[in-house]
Amino acid sequence: MTECFDAAVVARNIKARRIAKGFGTQEELARRSGLSPQAISSWESQRSVPNGKSIVVLACALDCTADELLGLDGGGRRERH
């Protein structure tokens, strides 16, 4: 099965949104979102990707959409990077 998103894009988007939101550390995002700092570190370093529930939680904490974090356009297709 082909992935519908790119793990590197997800990692880059999480980190960029975290910094843009003013969360200087992964720990701060973890506190604000209720997720573990280890999970956020793992996602930002591409060791793993967040599951669906975690993507929604991150999107809420970062004031963006799940599609934006996944690097998808509004129709669920990959954006060109």
Indicate whether 76 belongs to any domain: no
* Secondary structure (DSSP) of the chain: ---SS-HHHHHHHHHHHHHHTT--SHHHHHHHHT--HHHHHHHHTTS----HHHHHHHHHHTTS-HHHHHTB-TTSPBPP-
CATH (domain of 66): 1.10.260.40
Number of domains forming the structure of the chain: 1
Residue 12, in any domain of the structure: yes
Q: Which pLDDT score, from 0 to 100, does residue 5 have?
A: 73
pTM of the model: 0.85
pLDDT in tens, the chain (81 residues): 345 679 999 999 999 999 999 999 999 999 999 999 999 999 999 999 999 999 999 999 999 999 999 999 755 455 554
Q: Is residue 2 part of a domain?
A: no
